[in-house]
């Protein structure tokens, strides 16, 4: 085992590639048309939706960064990953937006809300988002696996292997193959998150052994040393809840379920699953910190902690399982992004600008071919990107500012395209001006600081409101249709006067919809009944937040 990678490890990795590719190809028989390819015909159950919510949002850099942070700063650094904990309950309220739109892509939603030009503007952003995100994820997995295997597998080799596998099953099976493969891969990510812990605890003498070596503050749930105060958490929460609405894969995450509740459960509790496994990542960092001190060693880079743990703790076969799980963490996201990229190009460019009356077969094959070609651009980006962290920070910052027009456009019916573009542009420009004034350096990606972000978001939403009020309103027929969809339950097939039933009649009205109407008496009539699904699910979500906090606290009390 001179290269640190035993033949058993190779066997496990090969078995994973063959198994997941074969499974994805087997599922392609379920794809009968373009809707099946892009949205899985909206038939996924809550477990598949949870897997998408968890798997598509979990990448290699998440556990590597968290393990490194807790290695350096202690368990309280979990708030770097838990920064979105406080907004997760809002996913329950947001998820129905995408299913009720009856659209295939977020670009189509923007087009219906603000017009063709804005839909095209968003779609260009979304395709670039997917290209950059895929490239960054592929490079991230390549770096992690190279370290974990003592460079027995090169980063470029990992990129090529992953790409070939997920392209094969995603090209033919679309969202169906992607979603069900993600269900398997999500289980592997959970294994990855906890498999190092029992082995590590055995090496360091359990929690008692860690407490003898590490400072006491390493076992705090909250610590000022992390640099995350109340204001920072608030700004990160705003960043998260506004930015998530502009994520281009939100339709696949929220609107491909068999019911609205399946989408709500999937998005909300899939995200909670990620919050839960983060406890495992943070605990692994404490174990590595103890191991390094105990062994008289030193890590030059805290983010080497996860790779160090795999080298020291895992025996042949288990290392292969770890590598396969890291691959799963990225392939689950990459395959989802690939299908969504094809959907965006097909629905917003091909159908909207090139061929306005395509048949379904043309849509299906344009989707497949465009998803392949655009994904290859992501692969090219992966070969050239140096900083994975900077790449992710770049696309997340752009998404947060883009979310101003989507989040604001649903919360306020009067918002128009002029206000939307003014809000996005002003937030982006002010953010970079403030960062330049603070640092004196011109950069594409600055270190995220709460103050510049707060002023940028305030300016963005202020401009959205101001410019919308002083410019002409959007076409009333289009806007009325958009908001009428939001008022109707998408689960129902029965129609009345050509429309689905009002959600309020069945307890499914939306709390986060045109907020100014909350100042009217009509909005408060029958509140508990008409909003039953929203407020009960929202409260249960907050209870789950409490359970996770209690679980983390309980782990830290172990002696």
User: Which class does domain 7-18+54-414+533-556 fall in?
Assistant: mainly alpha
pLDDT grade for 2, boundaries at 50, 70 and 90? very low
- 427 contacts 404 by C-beta, under 8 angstroms: yes
Task: List the structure tokens of 296.
Answer: 């008289």
Residue 265 CB burial class (10 angstroms; 0-12, 13-18, ≥19): buried
Residue 363 to residue 340: CA distance in whole angstroms: 13
The residues, ordered by sequence, that sit 6+ positions from 346 with a Cβ below 8 Å of its Cβ are 34, 38, 363, 366, 367, 370
> Tell me: the pLDDT tens digits for 446-479?
777 889 999 999 999 999 999 999 999 999 999 9
> Tell me: the pLDDT tens digits for 70-123?
998 899 989 878 878 889 999 999 999 999 999 999 999 999 999 999 999 999
pLDDT grade for 437, boundaries at 50, 70 and 90? very high
Residue 380 to residue 188: CA distance in whole angstroms: 27
Residue 339 to residue 347: CA distance in whole angstroms: 12
Task: List the structure tokens of 332.
Answer: 């689950």
Q: For position 392, what pLDDT does the model report?
A: 59
Residue 230 CB burial class (10 angstroms; 0-12, 13-18, ≥19): exposed
Average pLDDT, the chain: 88
- 452 contacts 431 by C-beta, under 8 angstroms: yes
The residues, ordered by sequence, that sit 6+ positions from 373 with a Cβ below 8 Å of its Cβ are none
- 9 contacts 320 by C-beta, under 8 angstroms: yes
Partners of 257 in beta bridges: 44
- 544 contacts 525 by C-beta, under 8 angstroms: no
Task: List the structure tokens of 95.
Answer: 């998820």
Partners of 488 in beta bridges: 502
| 397, HSE (Cβ side, Cα atoms, 13 Å) | 25
Residue 134 to residue 128: CA distance in whole angstroms: 10
Domain locations along the chain: 7-18+54-414+533-556, 476-531
Burial per residue of 521-543, b for 16 or more beta-carbon CB atoms within 10 angstroms, e otherwise: eebeeeeeebbbbbbebbeebee
Task: List the structure tokens of 333.
Answer: 């996201």
> Tell me: the pLDDT tens digits for 388-430?
555 556 677 778 899 999 999 999 999 999 999 999 999 999 9
**Average pLDDT in the 9-29 region?**
86
Q: For position 543, what pLDDT does the model report?
A: 97
- 103 contacts 112 by C-beta, under 8 angstroms: yes
Residue 126 to residue 353: CA distance in whole angstroms: 17
Element (H, E) at 112: helix 106-114
* Residue 488 DSSP symbol: B
Q: For position 151, what pLDDT does the model report?
A: 72
More confident residue, 94 or 145: 94
> Tell me: the pLDDT tens digits for 259-278?
999 999 999 999 999 999 99
pLDDT grade for 536, boundaries at 50, 70 and 90? very high
> Tell me: the pLDDT tens digits for 187-239?
888 888 888 899 999 999 999 999 999 999 899 988 777 676 778 888 888 88
Output the pTM of the full model. 0.90
């Amino acid at each position: 085992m001179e290269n640190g990678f035993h033949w058993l490890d190779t066997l496990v990795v090969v078995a994973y590639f063959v198994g997941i590719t074969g499974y994805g190809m087997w599922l392609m028989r379920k794809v009968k048309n373009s809707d099946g390819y892009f949205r899985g015909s909206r038939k996924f159950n809550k477990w598949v939706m949870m897997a998408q919510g968890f798997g598509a949002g979990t990448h290699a850099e998440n556990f590597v960064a968290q393990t490194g942070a807790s290695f350096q700063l202690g368990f309280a650094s979990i708030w770097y990953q838990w920064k979105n904990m406080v907004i997760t309950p809002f996913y329950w309220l947001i998820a129905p937006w995408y299913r009720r739109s009856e659209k295939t892509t977020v670009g189509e939603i923007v087009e219906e809300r603000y017009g063709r030009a804005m839909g095209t503007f968003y779609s260009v952003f979304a395709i670039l988002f997917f290209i950059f995100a895929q490239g960054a994820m592929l490079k991230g997995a390549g770096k992690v696996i190279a370290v974990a295997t003592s460079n027995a597998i090169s980063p470029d080799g990992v990129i090529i292997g992953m790409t070939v596998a997920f392209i094969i099953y995603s090209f033919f099976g679309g969202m169906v193959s992607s979603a069900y493969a993600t269900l398997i891969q999500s289980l592997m990510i959970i294994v990855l998150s906890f498999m190092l812990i029992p082995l590590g605890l055995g090496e360091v003498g359990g929690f008692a052994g860690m407490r003898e070596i590490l400072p006491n503050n390493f076992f705090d749930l909250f610590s000022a040393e992390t640099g995350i105060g109340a204001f920072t958490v608030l700004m990160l929460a705003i960043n998260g809840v506004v930015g998530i609405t502009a994520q281009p894969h939100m339709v696949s995450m929220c609107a491909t379920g068999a019911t609205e509740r399946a989408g709500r459960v999937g998005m909300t509790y899939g995200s909670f699953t990620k919050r839960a496994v983060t406890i495992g990542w943070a605990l692994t960092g404490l174990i590595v910190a103890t191991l390094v001190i105990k062994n008289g060693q030193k890590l030059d880079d805290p983010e080497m902690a996860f790779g160090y743990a795999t080298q020291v703790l895992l025996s042949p076969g288990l290392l292969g399982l770890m590598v396969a799980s890291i691959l799963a963490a990225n392939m689950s996201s990459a395959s989802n992004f690939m299908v969504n990229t094809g959907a965006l190009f097909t629905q917003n460019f091909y159908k909207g600008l090139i061929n306005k009356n395509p048949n379904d077969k043309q849509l299906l094959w344009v989707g497949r071919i465009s998803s392949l070609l655009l994904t290859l651009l992501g692969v090219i980006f992966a070969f050239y990107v140096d900083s994975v962290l900077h790449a992710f920070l770049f696309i997340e910052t752009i998404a947060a500012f883009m979310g101003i027009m989507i989040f604001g456009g649903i919360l306020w019916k009067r918002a128009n395209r002029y206000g939307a573009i003014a809000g996005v542009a002003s937030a982006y420009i002010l953010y970079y001006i403030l960062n330049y004034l603070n640092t004196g350096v011109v950069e594409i990606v600055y270190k995220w600081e709460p103050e510049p972000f707060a002023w940028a978001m305030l300016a963005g939403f202020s401009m959205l409101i101001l410019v919308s009020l002083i410019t002409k309103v959007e076409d009333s027929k289009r806007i009325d249709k958009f908001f009428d969809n939001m008022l109707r339950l998408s689960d129902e097939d029965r129609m009345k006067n050509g429309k689905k039933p009002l959600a309020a009649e069945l307890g499914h009205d939306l709390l986060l919809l045109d907020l100014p109407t909350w100042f009217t008496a009509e909005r408060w009539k029958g509140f508990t009944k008409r909003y039953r699904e929203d407020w009960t699910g929202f409260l249960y979500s907050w209870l789950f937040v409490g359970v996770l906090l209690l679980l983390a606290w309980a782990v830290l009390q172990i002696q």
